[in-house]
Structure formats: C-alpha cells, structure tokens
Amino acid sequence: MSRLYEEVRMPLAEGTTLLHPERALLRWEGIDGRADIGQICYLKRDTSRPQRSRRIFDVTSFSSERARVVRLLVAQLSGRMTLGAMRPKTVHGALRAVLDFVNWADRQGLHQVLCDEKATAEAVHGYFHEKREQVSLGNLKRNAFGLYQRNLLSMLREFFRNDDFCTDARVLRRQQAASVPTAVPDTEAQASLLAWADALFNSISTLVVDFKPYPMHVTTARGEHLCLVPHSFGRKKGDDSRGLLGWNLETGEPRTREELRTRMARTGAKNPRESSWNIARLTAKNLAAANADAQSPIRRSHASMAAFCFAALFLAETGINLAQLLAMKWSPELDANLQDASVARQKFREVKYRAGRREVTFTVSLGFVPKLKAYLVLREYLVQDEDCDALFIVVGNQAQRRRPMGLKVQFLEQLYCRLDTLGIVLPRINARQWRAAKQDWAVRNHDPLVAARLMGHSLATALRSYSNGTDAAHKAEMGAFLASVEKTVLKPGNDPAGGIRSAVGVCIAFHKPVPIAASVTLHPDCRSTEGCLFCDRYRVHADAVDIRKLLSCRHCVRLVSKRADSIEQYDRSFGTVLRRVDFLLDELRRRDAALVDQIEQDVDIDGNLDAFWSAKLDQLYELGVA
C-alpha cells in the first residue's frame, strides 16, 4: 500500500525534530525533485520503479531502528550544509549514494544495513563487487560509480564515526581519459549572447528602476537594434505576430488607424475599418497602462528578463558552478561590502559577505562591479516588500506575477526562449560550457595559480584545462607536426629496412636523431622514449600494435602530468608530448577510426596497456607518482 508524505526543507532549522521520519521527503533549494529518505524505514518495498514514482510499501515491515537511522542521517546531511558549507547538489548526491546502497541491501535481505556497523561493512563489499562487474560489462560508467563509492564511504564513515570504516574496500580510481572535457563554446556564440544580455539588462534596468516610458530602444555594442514595447507576445513573425499588429517594431511607435486599415485590407481582413479601430484602441490602452504604473505586470515581466540576462552575465564573468549560483543568498552585507571589496588580484575584486549563516565569496573584474550594483537595485525593485533571500530572482507567471522567486536550474534555457520571443535566435550555451569558456580565458591570460583562484578550484584542474584549451592555442606547433606526418605514419605491414621497434613505434636510424622542425622545443633523444616522437627518424604503423603503444604512452603521461607545479613545467615536460601523441592519433583515426576508438576504450577504460607501458605504470604506482 502507499504511505503518507511530508516535505522537509533542508537544511533543518535549528532545534527541529522529525516526528515522522518514515514520511520524510527532503527538498533542497535549487534542485528539482525531492529525496525520499523515509522509504528506508520500510524493509519491504518495491524499489523497481523510477525514483520519481510513488512506491509500494509493506507497512508491516516498518522498522523503528531504521526510523532512528533516518533521523540521524537527516541531521548528518543538514550538518554538512550548515557546518561543512557543502552545496545542496553535493549533499543531495551523497544521499543518493546511500539510498541506492540501502535499496540494494534490502533487496538482498540485508536489513541490518545502517543499524549494525559490521553488517553494513560486509554489505558494502558485496555491493562494490557487484557494481564493479557492471562497470566491466559497460553497464555502468567507471567514473560515475567511483564517485558514488567515495560519496557512500564518506557518509558511512561519518555516520558510524569511524574513519577506518571499509578502508580495505576497492574503490575505482578516477580515470581522466574516461571523462569527456566540456568543449569551449564558439566565441561568436558567446559574443552574441553577451552582447544582447548586456544591452537588455542595461536598458530594462533603466526602464523599470527610473520609471522610463515605453517604448524602449535597445542597441547592443555591436550595433544590433530592438524596440521593446509593452507586450509580452512573441514576435517571430515580425510585425504580423499576435498582439503586435498595433506596433511598428522598427520605430517602436503605435501604428495609426489609417496604417492599420491599409495593412489589414491588404491581408484580406473581413472588416478592416472596425478591426483597425479595435487594435489601435487596445494598443493605446496597453501603452497608457504600462506607462502609468511603475509595477505594471509587463514592467515586472521585462524586469525578470533583465534578471535572467544579468544571471547569464554573472555566470560568464565568474565561471561559477550553476548549483553555486542558484544557492547564493542575498544579505544587506553584500551592498555594504561592494563599497569596500578587497582586491584579490590586479584588475579583480573579491567580494565577501555573510548570508544564510554562511560566507559567500566570489571574484569579479573591476569593470563588472558597477553592473553588479545595478543588479542589486533591480533586485530591490522586484522584491518590494516580499520575503525572498535568493540573490538571483525573477517573478512568477500569471497569479504569481508579482511574487519574486529564485532562479530555476533551467534558467539559461528560459532566457534563450525569452530571447526567441523577441526574434533573437541564438546558439545555446549551457552553464558547463560558460564555465569552460571562463576557464579557457583564465589559463590563457594568467598563470595557473591565478586561474585556479579565479575559478575556485585546484591547480591540477587549471593545468588540465590548459591542455584542453581552444584549437587556436598551438597552431605553430601543429604546423611542424603537419610537415612530417606523411612520412611518419606508415601503412600496416610497411616495415622499413633496418627499422627497430620502440615503445611508441619504429625507429629507422637508431642513435642518429634529427629534429622534425627547428620550431619544436622538445628535442629528440634516443635515451628517452617520449623523445622519439619528435625525431625525423620516427615512424608509426596504422595498426593495432602501434596504436596501443601510443595510447598507452598517453595514458601514463596523463597520470604523471598532474604533478606539474606550473604551466611552464607542464608544457616543458608533458604538454608538448600529449599534443604530439594526440596529433598522431588523429592522423591514425583518419585511416581507421573504429580501430583507434576500440583500442582507446580498451586502454583508457579497461586498463589493457601495451606490455612496456603496463610495466612502467606499475613502477609509477609503486613510486607514488601516479
């Protein structure tokens, strides 16, 4: 049978006690859906349905021990947010790992899970073993389950207050090659959205905050023009769009009755005289209403669009994670601290303030600070006397039009849709791509330490992003590679006379190294395996053996490259090698893409390296370098 549900907002208010843990549905701000933690109070339940479905429960299987466990887990999760300052998405992900594990355990009849530490440890080993088999069969993504493992163990160690809990469990190592880096979006697509977002934000802010009259002319920095009229209808059909017949969208002025009558007669309207009179009257009425009320629905609707635009600008400016942006709170301290923000680096300001019992920190350029101040004024216009602590807000639709609310996860898609209604159709860029764009800019314009600080992540991440950068970053180097590619890549079975097999292919003149080009900084060295790649005497076959050698070489170099302390060291020791290997692999793909992809999966995901590189990898692990 079904059961009763009660929504519990996270984190818990101080002093709150769950009276009915079996009913609990946890909700986090900024995250769609709720987490049904109360389900595990029932030992027998149907877990075959999707998470979003109401499940079937055997009420006689209610466990008071599990109810106690649920109370402890909710307190633990709440503490991670308030004391550990973890993001809602992070805490939600940790709970998902626990619930998936408990669902699995209860299906096996292991009902002492979470109630008894020893029984839980035994179940963890069985759970990990089963999931590893699914990873090996390709039914689960390696990195995704590795994250689940780490989340689960972290939660259970904290729950049992035992840092040594399941330290012998086999946790899958994260493989960088199994992660597909987010591509840096096209610069023209970036520029288009930023230009329109900036122009609309500035113009609409002036329109609503200073109570300027409609129509409002909007012009981007690139010279694109739009006239904003007091109608929310879309204009994909231009002047003939529904609700906009009364407007000349080029000038932003209402059409005269004569213009309307002529236009409607041309389109075959039954009674052009009466229709034109009605349209002109309605247009004038809407214009007068919008210009008479500073809080008119259309002004608040346009103000929401300006808020969407600013959120996109803030995302592009800071490169912040979407979940962090959605979770950011407002407090009066922000307004005060903007007047005295501390300088983090030349040309940047670090803004710090406290909101919602935690410290909020972000870094923006000096030129962005006035825009941020303007947004806070716009936010004040939207909030009025309502209670809303989210930093980024819009107003609701229809009955809730006057009520402010926090942005939703899909706010960027909503912005693009709103732009569509204005006839501004742009290529979509998601939040991860905006972060990738900011990262790409940071590592190209600053040293890795500054880039890491601006992005709020580790130096290793900045170094990886430097390697992933845009295609234009290494054109000169690629030119040298292209000049030698025709003679470097050999057909299968084409064995040069006197050739010697190496760890990355074939050498046709051992101990007689010649650089492939004077512009390449890494010189060939017969004592260095990687040095062969930059020698004019180096050859590689487009066959399975040599492809596996190159992929195995790349696998090992990638593992060691994270040890670099600077961009200079990274580029000198690893970056050039990785780009050379990737270039050769691209050439090999042109000859047999299916073979390269198959071996790449076998090497990077399944760990089946070439014998030489497999032995080298073992040495790296023993030395603690990888």
Listed in sequence order, the DSSP H helices in 515-566 are 544-561
Q: How confident is the model at residue 275 (pLDDT cuts 50, 70, 90)?
A: confident
Of 359 and 152, the one with more pLDDT: 152
With a cut of 90, say whether residue 181 has pLDDT above it: no
DSSP label at residue 410: T
- Which H or E run contains 217? strand 216-219
Give yes or no: residues 452 and 364 share one domain: yes
Chain position carrying tokens 């959120």: 311
**Lowest-confidence region among 91-100, 116-125, 359-368, 521-530:** 521-530
pLDDT in tens, 8-61: 999 888 778 888 999 999 998 778 788 999 999 999 987 665 444 456 788 889
**Residue 282: burial class (beta carbons within 10 Å; 0-12, 13-18, 19+):** middle
Give yes or no: residues 362 and 486 share one domain: no
pLDDT of residue 568: 58
Residue ranges making up the domain that contains 12: 6-174
Q: Percent of the chain, pLDDT > 70? A: 81
Torsion of CA 250, 251, 253, 257, to 10 degrees: -60
With a cut of 70, say whether residue 212 has pLDDT above it: yes
DSSP 150-177: HHHHHHHHHHHT-TTTTTTS-PPPP-GG
Most confident of 65-69, 477-481, 614-618: 65-69
pLDDT of residue 401: 53
54 in any annotated domain: yes
The structural domain count of the chain equals 4
27 in any annotated domain: yes
CATH of the domain at 332: 1.10.443
User: What does the mean pLDDT of the chain come to?
Assistant: 82
Give yes or no: residues 76 and 134 share one domain: yes
Give yes or no: residues 420 and 318 share one domain: yes
Give yes or no: residues 451 and 321 share one domain: yes
- Tokens in use for 181? 């880096």
489: β partners: 540
What is the sign of the dihedral through the CA atoms of 455, 457, 459 and 463?
negative
343: β partners: 349
289 in any annotated domain: yes
1 in any annotated domain: no
**Lowest-confidence region among 61-70, 143-152, 554-563:** 554-563
Give yes or no: residues 163 and 220 share one domain: no
> pTM to 2 decimals?
0.56
561 in any annotated domain: yes
CA–CA distance, 587 with 330 (Å, rounded to integer) = 52
Give yes or no: residues 582 and 477 share one domain: yes
CA–CA distance, 538 with 487 (Å, rounded to integer) = 9
Give yes or no: residues 133 and 275 share one domain: no
45: β partners: 57
- Tokens in use for 562? 């994270």
pLDDT of residue 472: 42
State which of 457, 490, 523 marks the end of a domain: 457
With a cut of 70, say whether residue 295 has pLDDT above it: yes
State which of 426, 457, 488 marks the end of a domain: 457
Give yes or no: residues 190 and 261 share one domain: no
DSSP 73-103: HHHHHHHHHHTS---HHHHHHHHHHHHHHHH
DSSP 2-58: ----EEEEESPPTT---S-GGGEEEEETT-SS-B--GGGGBSSB---S-TTSPPPB-
Contact in structure between 178 and 142 (CB atoms under 8 Å): yes
- Residue from 364, 394, 508, 435 nearest 185 by CA: 435
465 in any annotated domain: no
Provide mean pLDDT across the span 173-184.
62
538: β partners: 507
CA–CA distance, 223 with 3 (Å, rounded to integer) = 60
Give yes or no: residues 92 and 216 share one domain: no
pLDDT of residue 343: 45
Give yes or no: residues 91 and 209 share one domain: no
pLDDT in tens, 417-470: 999 988 899 999 998 889 888 877 776 666 555 666 667 665 555 555 544 544
414 in any annotated domain: yes
Contact in structure between 435 and 58 (CB atoms under 8 Å): no
Instruction: State in Å, rounded, how far the first CA of the chain is from the last one.
Output: 52
Provide mean pLDDT across the span 409-418.
91
Contact in structure between 462 and 455 (CB atoms under 8 Å): yes
With a cut of 60, say whether residue 274 has pLDDT above it: yes
Torsion of CA 535, 538, 542, 543, to 10 degrees: -130
474 in any annotated domain: yes
Q: Which residues of 166-202 are buried (b: 16+ CB within 10 A; e: fewer)?
A: beeeebbeebbbbeeebebbeeeebebbbbbbbbbbb
Torsion of CA 427, 430, 433, 439, to 10 degrees: 120
State which of 295, 319, 344 marks the end of a domain: 295
With a cut of 90, say whether residue 556 has pLDDT above it: no
Q: How confident is the model at residue 239 (pLDDT cuts 50, 70, 90)?
A: low
Give yes or no: residues 79 and 170 share one domain: yes
pLDDT of residue 515: 79
CA–CA distance, 404 with 411 (Å, rounded to integer) = 14
pLDDT of residue 476: 42
342: β partners: 350
